[in-house]
Amino acid sequence: LSNPLSKSIKPSLLNSTSFTSPLQSSLQSQTPTSSTENRHKTNFLKALSLFHGQRYEKALKQFHSLYKHISKTGTSMHVLSLEGGLGLLCCRFIGHCYFHLKNFPKALEHYQRARLIAKALNRLEDEYRIDFHLLLLELRRMTGFLLAKNNFQLRTDWEQQVNDVNQMGSELASSEVVEIGDPERPSSAAGTSRHEGNDTLDEHKFLVQLKSFASTYLEKYWWDNVWDRSLLGKISLVVGMTICAVMSP
């Protein structure tokens, strides 16, 4: 695996010039309305300067200190405030600092925490809203890379992955059976379709059902519980969904 922080594929969110959120722009251009916000802005920019100067240990302490203060005020998840966005930015850069310091479990922990805050921010339309989709793509990329490195023990193993695959097969096999050949049938009747007395599959409806199941599986077990399933199983599901998407009309 290539290091995702290498110059050739450096994630945009690590570089404030290539990935600048609305909040980060406001930190650099607007005058805060309170002394607290002014102090937070100053401390954040100090930590950001240390990070881009590759002084990761000092930057880590600065980001940690700011995030700890935000958490004490009870506003780290209050995304209608400047502090809500700062909580996300601090978590994201704490993760990057830990990555550069090769503390991969801690990096993963803070990437996951940043994702939770980003999900909350995405539900709101205020002036400090973060670009949710770009940020989540980068955080997922970093999370996947860390899991693939095997620098720490995952809770699941091959046997668990086999059980997951068997469970998926059982759920597909027990799906609703519908007749094929009727283009007017609603898509809500998705299932493993058969002619009465005939074992021929309706490929289109089967693929629709498989994609729906895989999407639900990913949302339930991957994004929200990244520790609870093996990496190989997750990769298999993504590959399967991609094949389904290509094969579908």
pLDDT for residue 105 is more than 90: no
pLDDT at residue 161 in the model: 44
pLDDT at residue 152 in the model: 45
Query: Which residues, including other chains, have CB under 8 Å from residue 198's CB and lie 6 or more apart?
Result: none
Domain spans in the chain, listed from the N-terminal domain onward: 7-149, 158-247
Token pair 């599986």: residue: 217
pLDDT for residue 102 is more than 80: yes
pLDDT for residue 173 is more than 70: no
Pick 62 or 170 by higher pLDDT.
62
pLDDT at residue 59 in the model: 94
* Mean pLDDT, rounded, of the chain: 60
Query: CATH for 7-149?
Result: 1.25.40.10
Alpha-helix residue ranges (DSSP H) falling in 123-230: 132-149, 158-173, 203-217
pLDDT for residue 95 is more than 70: yes
Per-residue pLDDT reduced to its tens digit, 4-32 = 444 333 334 334 333 444 455 555 544 44
CB 125: neighbour CB atoms within 10 A? 6
Count of CA atoms in the C-beta half-sphere (13 A) of 200: 7
φ and ψ of 198, to 5 deg: -130, 135
